[in-house]
Chain A
Amino acid sequence: GQQVMQIPQYQHVQEGEDFTTYCNSSTTLSNIQWYKQRPGGHPVFLIQLVKSGEVKKQKRLTFQFGEAKKNSSLHITATQTTDVGTYFCAGRNSGYSTLTFGKGTMLLVSP
């Protein structure tokens, strides 16, 4: 079955440092989504990437979808304490209609 691996599991940074989480799929994906879950909260949809090589930005967040549509990354520039939470990637391939979530990367930001 489809597997989505995500690394690192955990990262602790100082405020102002950059952060990147990576997602790799065992199969080619139709699209990939990213979610953020604050501690004690629920997943919140951030973005969906569909095209090979796609890059999208949301303020300090940059999302990339690999050329082969098997990997993706989320990069946060100059982290802030409000960025704390767990970031999940979730992929879909053409054979499935549901999302397969990665295990998530927990980000801690110290002031």
Chain B
Amino acid sequence: DTEVTQTPKHLVMGMTNKKSLKCEQHMGHRAMYWYKQKAKKPPELMFVYSYEKLSINESVPSRFSPECPNSSLLNLHLHALQPEDSALYLCASSQDTTWGVQGKGGYTFGSGTRLTVV
């Protein structure tokens, strides 16, 4: 299995709702990432998990809460979001967080969750 699976594909939520985004990979990758992408912009890093531990939080507001229950799963819990948080949320994984001298440092991205906050 060479895929990263994200659910749901689309999500519309109100500003008072609580929802979760899910991400799963079975490639044995030990690094997992959450990215946010606005239209016509590059992906913007939010969180990095390395060996199931949070290693990087790019100063993301606390209304976004990541969780890594095991090495295959990554969740992003959403609460009290704002309309400006509407974006494509991408999960990615890689073998680990090192730069992959053997050329295996590429990230595998999921197809994303398109989130609209109303």
Chain A residues in contact with chain B, CB under 8 A?
A: 30-31, 33, 35, 41-45, 47-48, 50, 88, 92, 97-99, 101-104, 106
* A46 nearest in chain B by CB position: B106
Q: Is the CB of B106 within 8 A of A48?
A: yes
Minimum CB distance partner of B103 in chain A:
A48
A106 to B39, CA, bound (A): 12
Q: How far is the CA of A15 from the CA of B98 in the complex (A)?
A: 39
Q: Is B48 part of the binding interface, using a Cβ–Cβ cutoff of 8 Å? A: yes
A41 to B110: give the CA distance in the assembly, Å: 9
Residues of B within 8 A of A (CB): 33, 40-43, 45, 48, 55-56, 88, 90, 92, 97-101, 103, 105-112
B45 touches A43 (CB 8 A): no
Complex-state Cα separation, A31 to B112, whole angstroms: 26
Q: Residues of A contacting B100 with CB < 8 Å?
A: 31, 48
Name A's interface SS: strand
14 A-B pairs with CB atoms under 8 Å apart are A33-B107, A42-B110, A43-B90, A45-B106, A45-B108, A88-B43, A92-B105, A97-B55, A97-B97, A97-B98, A97-B99, A98-B97, A104-B42, A106-B40
Question: In the docked arrangement, what's the CA distance between A35 and B106, Å?
Answer: 9
Closest 8 CB pairs of A and B: A45-B106, A101-B42, A97-B97, A42-B109, A43-B109, A42-B111, A92-B99, A30-B99
B50 to chain A: closest residue by CB: A97
Across-interface contacts of A99 in B (CB, < 8 A): 45, 107
Q: Closest B-chain residue to A94, C-beta based?
A: B99
Chain A residue with Cβ nearest B114 = A40
Query: How many whole Å from B90's CB to the nearest CB in chain A?
Result: 6
Q: How far is the CA of A56 from the CA of B97 in the complex (A)?
A: 23
For residue B83, give the distance in angstroms from its CB to the closest CB of chain A.
Answer: 21
A26 and B90 CA atoms in complex are apart in Å by: 26
Q: Are B42 and A88 in contact (CB under 8 A)?
A: yes
Which residues in A have their C-beta under 8 angstroms from that of B42?
88, 101-104
Nearest CB of chain A from residue B10's CB, rounded to whole Å = 12
Given contacts A30-B99, A31-B100, A50-B99, 9 further A-B contacts (CB under 8 A): A31-B105, A42-B88, A42-B90, A42-B111, A45-B108, A45-B109, A48-B103, A92-B105, A98-B97
